[in-house]
Structure 1
């Protein structure tokens, strides 16, 4: 969220273990544990470890537990191909099971494999630039939202999943394994898998600004209606979240989801500007939670010459709109965010100042943290502050979901009083 170049305590949170940062060594270095080390540690053969990693051959629960324990103890990183094979079994096995009191979040959108290039500046036409590094990470707004929400934990536990389209190539399996490792279940019928996963090129400049080139979404094949028809949300707190790319074509599904008992949310990322300009009144009546951004303000009120004027116009619109969503939030980048209530009241939260590396995924991290807090009944002001902290933290590393903060880290960065946060920590147990 923040573009400030001030030093923050984000690195301290990482060092102290409160924030998980995904490490991506390109080459296995000398001294790193191997599959042979795992086998010796677990007291099994190398072939048994391979069976556990691939998921193709059945291994007894006791043996699997020993091997997985050895993997954790040694911090072993399986090769990409092994993670891909394991992902296929996990897709077939289905979802994790969470206690009924844990809120569910299912995002609707695409998963992408992002190739991020670190540049001092964007190249000019027909110019060749040298990148400091080109890394492979996982992305896609819906995937990012689910991963961040799933990682926060008590007192804001979330059982997360994504309804998406996945291909049959190794990158698709790799992306599935990455999401599983972030506690996100992938919902896609095996018979619908075809082609390959979406890819995106992300060019990040020295000041953190990014330019993204992504392929069209493959989600035309996803049957949201089938998911709604086969899922009983009424006994649970269950949010169905739509990324902006999906909103224009999914309004019928939005109405059906609300009727079926889902909390329905959306974010503006990827939404065609002309659609919001023409249909914002419909959207305000259709969603329970809406996350807009600064550009949305002029799409809703073209006469607004400044962000402040746009916020005032949105507050006035709330006052004269008969049905207003449960929560409408506008993200303001380095200035934080503002919530607009149905009576026009405004609640602001500041974005913590951090050393910005890459702005990719900051808005998605904001949305993931916001939904985790709101679905667990956090007050609006607390949810906004936690969300701003999550968005700011995401900008401190390259990649769209490479920073996975816990609730304690967010509360610390947000400056939340210890007593206020401690009062919430006797909530539900984490998902096993």
Structure 2
């Protein structure tokens, strides 16, 4: 079984499904509220676990009731939470999410305990594959990459300046179109693969600046895009670590992301391996 360590954020998502997304200064009424476990790190960990990997999560939550809510699906899904610490001085991270009927969203994150994580919490060596995002303090992200001994995937979200060393060490970089524009040619300075997600248009993979694969997702009816990108990250890592060729790996990840967009919430929407394989076969 593929072994993956995810170093990343853990949040509780408060999701308001509204008739439309608000403009600056606008109040939108008529929304319904739901609470779901979230956070990029937690989402990607559960995504990889549901797709067949053995996954451990390293992260931080508050010493509060929201922590139990935020980790409930991870625990139920079999993600190893032994390296998740409770912080007595900061609350569990919260994401405030507005979603419109087409599945588009707006997100504001109150990081809470996530931003109190330090490199001292990391294992001295990170064995097996590592998946990392940028919702933790940057020094923690940099330290995690430095302690990795195998495959490293960095999801450069949210976009912010990072060291050249981190970019060069990554075997796989995943960005969306906005993040790709932020980093520009820096993405291609290392020898690793770079995947840019294109929303409903799928994804494209480059290596050393040259396109090596492109895939489109199966046609679905989107309900909520929250978590779709994280489903993609978990899936592309599992696929490549299992030895799939780039084209097949992209198609697998696009299918996982598309399925996640058909259901509300981040972690509740993450598909199983059987679901992904079934929609690929049917397409």
Q: TM-score, normalised by structure 2?
A: 0.89
Q: Are residues 1:239 and 2:129 paired?
A: yes
Residue of 91, 95, 104 corresponding to 1:209: 104
> CA distance change for structure 1 residues 220 and 159 in 2, over 3 Å: closer, same or farther?
same
Provide the residue aligned with 2:226 in structure 1. Answer: 360
Deviation at 1:255, TM superposition (A): 4.5
Moved more, 167-176 or 189-198: 189-198
Provide the residue aligned with 2:74 in structure 1. Answer: 179
Instruction: Tell me if structure 2 keeps the 8 A contact 1:365–1:391.
Output: yes
Q: Are residues 1:271 and 2:138 paired?
A: no
How many Å separate the matches in 1 of 2:226 and 2:84? 29
Provide the residue aligned with 2:208 in structure 1. Answer: 342
How many Å separate the matches in 2 of 1:365 and 1:228? 25
How many Å separate the matches in 1 of 2:62 and 2:14? 18
Q: Are residues 1:199 and 2:94 paired?
A: yes
> CA distance change for structure 1 residues 128 and 386 in 2, over 3 Å: closer, same or farther?
closer
Provide the residue aligned with 1:384 in structure 2. Answer: 250
> CA distance change for structure 1 residues 262 and 217 in 2, over 3 Å: closer, same or farther?
farther
Provide the residue aligned with 1:30 in structure 2. Answer: none
Instruction: Tell me if structure 2 keeps the 8 A contact 1:123–1:129.
Output: no
Superposed CA offset, 1:40-70 (max 9, x none): xxxxxxxxxxxxxxxxxxxxxxxxxxxxxxx
Instruction: Tell me if structure 1 keeps the 8 A contact 2:216–2:251.
Output: yes
Instruction: Tell me if structure 2 keeps the 8 A contact 1:166–1:194.
Output: no
Provide the residue aligned with 1:114 in structure 2. Answer: 13
Provide the residue aligned with 1:257 in structure 2. Answer: 147
Instruction: Tell me if structure 1 keeps the 8 A contact 2:105–2:225.
Output: yes
SS of equivalent residue, structure 2 residue 195: strand
Matches within 5 A, 1:272-311: 272=160, 275=161, 279=163, 281-301=164-184
Residue of 122, 135, 144 corresponding to 1:227: 122
SS of equivalent residue, structure 2 residue 234: helix
Residue of 161, 167, 170 corresponding to 2:62: 167
Moved more, 333-342 or 187-196: 187-196
Residue of 350, 371, 384 corresponding to 2:237: 371
SS of equivalent residue, structure 2 residue 143: helix
Give the number of aligned pairs: 282
Moved more, 374-383 or 354-363: 374-383
Deviation at 1:175, TM superposition (A): 2.1
Gaps of 5+ in 1: 1-101, 302-312, 418-432
SS of equivalent residue, structure 1 residue 382: helix
SS of equivalent residue, structure 1 residue 298: helix
How many Å separate the matches in 2 of 1:108 and 1:266? 10
Provide the residue aligned with 2:191 in structure 1. Answer: 324
- Counting strand residues as a fraction of each chain, which structure ranks higher? 2
Provide the residue aligned with 2:273 in structure 1. Answer: 407
SS of equivalent residue, structure 2 residue 37: strand
C-alpha RMSD over aligned residues: 2.5
Matches within 5 A, 1:133-148: 133-148=32-47
Provide the residue aligned with 2:262 in structure 1. Answer: 396
> CA distance change for structure 1 residues 202 and 344 in 2, over 3 Å: closer, same or farther?
same
By relative contact order (CA 8 Å, sep 6+), the higher-ranking structure is 1
SS of equivalent residue, structure 2 residue 224: coil
Q: Are residues 1:149 and 2:45 paired?
A: no
Moved more, 407-416 or 165-174: 407-416
Superposed CA offset, 1:44-98 (max 9, x none): xxxxxxxxxxxxxxxxxxxxxxxxxxxxxxxxxxxxxxxxxxxxxxxxxxxxxxx
How many Å separate the matches in 2 of 1:191 and 1:393? 32
> CA distance change for structure 1 residues 339 and 225 in 2, over 3 Å: closer, same or farther?
farther
Gaps of 5+ in 2: none
> CA distance change for structure 1 residues 416 and 228 in 2, over 3 Å: closer, same or farther?
farther
Instruction: Tell me if structure 2 keeps the 8 A contact 1:115–1:202.
Output: yes
